[in-house]
Amino acid sequence: MTSSSSAFSAPSIAERVAEVRARIDAACHAAGRDPASVTLTAVSKTQAPEAIDAILATGQRIFGENRVQEAQGRWAARRGALPSLELRLIGPLQTNKAEDAVALFDVIETLDREKLARALAQAGEKRGRSPRVLVQVNSGAEPQKAGVLPDAADALIAAARDTYGLTLEGLMCIPPADQDAGPHFQMLRDMAERHGLSVLSMGMSGDYETAIRCGATHVRVGTALFGERNRPETPSSS
């Protein structure tokens, strides 16, 4: 019987990382872009410690997490030994967990409402720490998804910058699964250019090459790096 840990063997994950990086490079070259302009965020949510150790061994240092509490358990003890580690919150954030998020994450990609902008600003002042922030845009206006609606994004961007003084870097989106992702990525790029924002977090395991063609600077890849998850996630907010 195969050990459950074999799915997280270092060679297997190392090969997956090499393949994803090669595909990122190829997509960049096809789009006339410098591969160094695209950052790989490894989506580590729900992954076992063995899998995290294996991907860290490849030199990967940028990780995306969906939940504050889960990320605290996974990374709090590792941070001291990994000074180059960058943690990015890519899941919905409850306002009452803003302070914990500010304390742990280097980047919060899921700002989607003014109340949360206010909470992040207050938490940053209290903690003396100001993570970089992205506004999440619900590009498909899907009621089940987090993210500010496109029509309201301009006002939130202005409030985040001007009213609350957040370090706003860019935008993030998750297109509808049943639609061509390209137009959603292009809309996000156009919005970022309009506001002078340089960071575009878009594209996941199934569409990151399309996202790169559309200007993504950060791609969030989980399944293509780690394989299918062992257990389903329970829906909740961070």
Average pLDDT over residues 32-44: 98
Torsion, Cα of 38, 185, 182, 22 (10° steps): 10
> Any idea which of 74-78, 111-115, 226-230 has the lowest mean pLDDT?
226-230
pLDDT above 90 (res 236):
no
Across the range 167-185, mean pLDDT stands at: 97
Contact by Cβ (8 Å): 92, 116: no
Q: Which CATH architecture has domain 7-226?
A: Alpha-Beta Barrel (3.20)
Q: Which two tokens stand for residue 117?
A: 């902008």
| Span 177-181, average pLDDT | 95
Q: Which residue has the higher pLDDT, 145 or 227?
A: 145
Over residues 14-24, the mean pLDDT reads 97
Residue 8 pLDDT level (bands cut at 50, 70, 90):
low
Cα–Cα distance, 82 to 235 (Å, whole number) = 30
pLDDT computed for residue 2 by the predictor: 41
> To the nearest whole percent, how much of the chain has pLDDT over 70?
91
pLDDT at position 80: 85
Q: Domain coordinates of the chain in residue numbers?
A: 7-226
N-term to C-term CA, the chain: 37
The pLDDT-based confidence of 230 (bands split at 50, 70, 90) is low
* Calculated CA dihedral for residues 141, 144, 169, 38, nearest 10 degrees: -90
Arithmetic mean of pLDDT, 103-126: 98
Decide if 150 contacts 191 (C-beta within 8 A): yes
pLDDT at 229: 66
Q: Is the pLDDT of residue 235 over 70?
A: no
Q: Is residue 179 scored above 50 in pLDDT?
A: yes
C-alpha distances (whole Å) from 110 to each of 113, 172, 173, 221 are 9, 7, 9, 16
pLDDT digit string (tens) for 148-158?
999 999 999 99
Residue 4 has pLDDT above 50, yes or no: no
- The strand pairing partners of 222, in sequence order, are none
**Mean pLDDT score, 203-209:** 97
* Global pTM value: 0.91
Q: Strand, helix or coil at 211?
A: helix
Residue 30's pLDDT is 98
The pLDDT of residue 89 is 99
Per-residue pLDDT band for 137 (boundaries 50, 70, 90) equals very high
pLDDT digits (tens, 9 = 90+) for 55-72: 999 999 999 999 999 999
The helix (H) or strand (E) run that includes residue 170 is strand 167-173
